[in-house]
Chains A and B, each alone.
Chain A
Amino acid sequence: MASVLRRSQTVLNSLCRRQFSASPDGNLTTHAGKSMNLYSAINQALHIALETDPRAYVFGEDVGFGGVFRCTTGLADRYGKDRVFNTPLCEQGIVGFGIGLAAMGNRAIAEIQFADYIYPAFDQIVNEAAKFRYRSGNQFNCGGLTIRAPYGAVGHGGHYHSQSPEAFFCHVPGIKVVIPRSPYQAKGLLLSCIRDENPVVFFEPKWLYRLAVEEVPEDDFMLPLSQADVIREGSDITLVGWGAQLSVMEQACIDAEKEGISCELIDLRTLLPWDKETVEASVRKTGRLLISHEAPVTGGFGAEISASIVERCFLRQGEQNINVLHVVRPFSSLHNPIHILLLCLCID
């Protein structure tokens, strides 16, 4: 155990120090810009969203003074308390209100303080936001709605500040689910989500809010939705993940490389609707697939990926050499080292 812990500490340290890569070849210098962390990148995206669209609004619990994670810092001062404001402490109210605001042709950017507290709004998201366009025959839509929520383990959050609830939402046609892995990705993807004509749930890896730092262009740019990103190319195995887990997986790839295993790492970025083609092409090349996520394994989104890839690469084409491994990262304050243990499992 001691050696595992020591090893996990090393991994953590290296993750902390490392700049998070954003481009396919891991080359940081491709985007000229300012070095910034993830929450600042989110903040910048929100500034741009409010600046470029007078019909954009930012609201949620405590967003007025900058938010508990500082993502909305300076917005109320700059754009006024009518466009950036605190709401009462009520998630179903926040999302319901956001749907109405979006239905009037506004960009409604709602913050749920923690993804763990998104469940009171589940009905408004699943039954309302997702079905608003469909049930009205496209007479009405709430496409301008974006719901931001910090998700995932940070090491001390326990049960209710650590969850990764993405799978619940990936089962819902009508919404999009997007999770960025780094500051550059966060800014570009968030702007795309805000401007997308469909309601989006945007989960932000709160572990990386301050930890992840990279060069981010200061201008207004967008990254495509429903397009996976091949972070590193390899030939022996395909690794698929999203959000904070990618930093763990990236380290695993580096370690595996030392042992002579060539890994291809894919960031799914958009989980719904997800880019099957990119994953399929990679698995056809490597013949092996490893999916890793923080959320519980049973009914997790990894199951959707493995089922789809098995169906496409194995059942349909009769290829037989596909191995699928599914790894998760549970969450608990006490058992934080286990997260890192799983990193070792990735390498094995």
Chain B
Amino acid sequence: MIRFARSSSRNLFHRVLNRKFQYCSDSSMAVQCGRRRKDQSSGFFWPTCRFESTEAARHVDQLYLHNHDDQELDFPGGSVPFTKEMRFMSESTEKRVPCYRVLHENGDAITPPNFNQLTKDVAIKMYKDMITLQIMDNIFYEAQRQGRISFYLTSSGEEAIAIASAAALLPDDVVLAQYREPGVLLWRGFTLQEFANQLFGNKGDYGKGRQMPIHYGSNHHNYFTISSPLGTQLPQAVGIAYSLKMDKKEACVVAYFGDGTTSEGDFHAALNFAAVLRAPVIFICRNNGWAISTSIEEQFRSDGVVVKGQGYGIRSIRIDGNDTLAVYSAVRKARSMAIRENMPVLIEALTYRVGHHSTSDDSSKYRTTDEIQYWKMERNPMDRFAKWISNNGWFSQEDELNHKTTVKRQLLEAIQNAEKTEKPPLSELFNDVYDNLPKNLQEQEEVLRQTRKRYPQDYPSDVPL
């Protein structure tokens, strides 16, 4: 106490606090663990031990433990210690939550990766898929510029998150993505032709040409169809995870979303539901600094997204989203915790959207080229991983060139095919609204067909009857 009073500098104050925290951190665990309400009939326990808690989390724990008196308030959910000190919880922690990484920028492992699961084959596939993703982005972006498709959106700068997280999952894990994660589908074997079919909205598009480009979906790949409204997939992910849990499946749900999306009510609903209902779901936030033109400073006041997990009682981690190995190992660990312990996990992956938001956006209007260049050149996720695998002697420049040539050729072929393939027939305008076509829609379809007969020139000629 005396020491607090004497420290005038805020920094010093906190350094001292931190030291004291370390000192009593074990006893704090002991106090928290296993304490439950005496008349425990509802089955709800006060959250027990915290695992791998970050420094910030420990900080918060200590604030409330260093000066409580002996009495406790018996309260629903578990007893609460009293304190005579009027102390408001800080709106933020002194230090930002650190960011977990495995690789240096130069591709050297900081600590030798202690996961033996990453085999050479998997590592090579990861890198190859990242290259494929990059080629897809370049060529499809161009196709949009040429007016061949109506819209596109790249993963540029964020390749590691989608590919490495997908690699850490198993095929039975169910994916609910936002829209900037086609890398997950690619990893799971969605072909270039399948991508092209969706973008061109032809007969081969599983979505039957109904949605804008990039709204992929494939039940064969356990990848739910993308929906434009942001955040809606998050509470749905909890329902799916609950079903997996009830079926005792060795699988979890992985839900992806951006930093901007964390401001949607559905994000908060989902975290709360997942924690309360103990649903095995991994929430992966791609914090890429921007939501179209809105920077994260304008999006939230908190230290990013990771700190929101604890408010809902969710184990959380912040990782370097441009470090392929950090993403891979964190998602692997999260997966095993989610399934073993029936619980949600929140991962905040720090990254950067190197491209424009979409083909409808020009980001030079709201951010500097220096900022983009920095992330593109110095924090490039692919360069870093490339260095690591080539240092391992797993992938040569020649391998890379060969792969690029093959993918480019396959992709151009896929685009040509997709362009030639006919559009879904008119009836698909009405099918699948319900399981069967109800009378009102039959009637509307009939009216449309009559009108089309009378005014054929006003209807697209490439849509078969």
Which A positions have Cβ atoms within 8 angstroms of B?
81-82, 85, 87-88, 90, 92-93, 95-106, 108, 120, 123-124, 127-128, 131, 133-141, 143, 173-174, 176, 197-198, 226, 273-274, 276-277
Least Cβ distance of A91 to chain B in Å? 9
Given contacts A87-B273, A137-B432, contact A96 B236 (CB under 8 A): yes
B339 within 8 Å of A by Cβ?
no
Contacts of B244 in A (CB 8 A): 104
- Tell me the complex Cα distance, A92–B270, Å: 9
Q: Are A143 and B225 in contact (CB under 8 A)?
A: no
Report the bound CA distance from A90 to B269 in whole Å: 7
If A82-B246, A90-B273, A101-B242 touch, whether A139 touches B265 (CB-CB below 8 Å) is no
Cα A170 to Cα B224 in complex, Å, equals: 26
Contact between B269 and A93, CB atoms less than 8 A apart: yes
Tell me which of A96, A137, A197 contacts B239 (CB under 8 A).
A96
Give bound CA distance, A124 to B440, whole Å.
24
Whole-angstrom CA separation of A133 from B215 in the bound complex = 14
**A96 to B269 CA separation, bound complex (whole angstroms):** 9
Whether A139 and B232, one on each chain, are in contact in the complex, defined by CB atoms closer than 8 angstroms, is no
Give the residue of B240, B241, B246, B272 whose beta carbon is less than 8 angstroms from that of A93. Answer: B272
Residues of B within 8 A of A277 (CB): 439
Contact B235 A97 (CB under 8 A): yes
Q: How far is B431's CA from A174's CA once the two chains are assembled, in angstroms? A: 10
Known: A90-B273, A173-B441, A198-B434. A103 touches B236 (CB 8 A): yes
User: Nearest chain-A residue to B235 (Cβ)?
Assistant: A96
A128 B240 Cβ-Cβ under 8 A: no
A97, A139, A176, A226: the one contacting B242 at CB < 8 Å is A97
Contacts of B435 in A (CB 8 A): 133, 141, 143, 197-198
Contact yes or no, B232 A273, CB < 8 A: no
How far, in Å, is B96 (CB) from chain A's closest CB?
29
The answer for the CA separation of A128 and B155 in the assembled complex, in Å, is 25
Report Cα–Cα, A101/B235, bound state, in Å. Answer: 10
Q: Assess whether B206 is in contact with A139, with CB atoms less than 8 Å apart.
A: yes
B269/A103 in contact, CB under 8 A = no
Is residue B407 contacting chain A, with contact meaning CB distance below 8 A?
no
Q: Are A88 and B276 in contact (CB under 8 A)?
A: yes
Q: How far is the CA of A56 from the CA of B238 in the complex (A)?
A: 17
- Give the residues in chain B near A197, CB-CB below 8 Å: 434-435
B164 interfacial contact with A, CB 8 Å: no
- A133: chain B residues within 8 A (beta carbon): 432-435
Tell me whether A174 and B235 are in contact (CB under 8 A): no
Contact residues in B for A134 (Cβ distance below 8 Å):
210, 432-433
Contact of A136 among B207, B237, B439, B440 (CB under 8 A): B207
In the complex, given contacts A97-B277, A134-B432, what are 12 additional A-B residue pairs having Cβ atoms less than 8 angstroms apart? A82-B246, A87-B276, A88-B276, A90-B269, A96-B235, A99-B235, A137-B432, A139-B217, A139-B225, A173-B433, A174-B433, A226-B439
Chain A CB within 8 A of B83 CB: no
Interface assignment of B28: CB less than 8 Å from any CB of chain A: no
Chain B hits for A105, CB < 8 A: 243
- B229 adjacent to A100 (CB under 8 Å): no
Q: Which 4 A-B pairs have the closest CB atoms?
A: A100-B239, A96-B235, A93-B269, A104-B243
Q: Which B residues touch A127, using CB under 8 A?
A: 227, 229, 232
**Residue from A93, A95, A140 within 8 A of B217 (CB atoms):** A140
Which of A138, A140, A273 contacts B438, CB < 8 Å? A273
Query: Among residues 265 to 282 in chain B, which have CB atoms less than 8 Å away from a CB atom of chain A?
Result: 265-266, 269-270, 272-273, 276-277
Closest to B209 in A: A137
Q: What distance in Å separates the Cβ of A80 from its nearest Cβ neighbour in chain B?
A: 10
**B211 lies within 8 A of chain A by Cβ:** yes
Given contacts A92-B266, A133-B433, A141-B435, contact A97 B238 (CB under 8 A): yes
Q: Contacting A137 at CB < 8 Å: which of B210, B273, B438?
A: B210
B208 part of interface (Cβ distance < 8 Å): yes
Smallest Cβ-Cβ distance to B271: which chain A residue: A93
Q: List the A residue with the shortest CB-CB distance to B276.
A: A88
Contacts of B208 in A (CB 8 A): 137
Chain B positions 217 through 254: 1 when the CB is less than 8 Å from some CB of chain A, otherwise 0: 11100001101010010111111111110110000000
Say whether, besides A139-B218, A273-B438, A101 and B239 are in contact (CB < 8 Å).
yes
The reply to whether B265 and A120 form a contact with Cβ atoms under 8 Å apart is: yes
Cα–Cα distance between A88 and B242 once the two chains are bound (Å):
15
In angstroms, Cα B227 to Cα A127, docked, is 9
B441 adjacent to A273 (CB under 8 Å): yes
30 A-B pairs (CB sep. < 8 Å)? A82-B246, A90-B272, A93-B269, A96-B236, A96-B238, A96-B239, A96-B266, A96-B270, A97-B239, A97-B242, A100-B235, A100-B236, A101-B240, A102-B239, A103-B239, A105-B243, A108-B239, A123-B266, A127-B232, A128-B236, A131-B227, A135-B217, A137-B432, A139-B207, A139-B217, A140-B224, A226-B438, A273-B434, A273-B441, A277-B439
Output the least CB separation between A60 and chain B (Å).
Answer: 12
Decide: B232 and A123 in contact? CB cutoff 8 A: yes
Q: Complex formed: what's the CA distance from A144 to B178 in Å?
A: 24
B205 contacts the other chain (Cβ, under 8 Å)?
A: yes
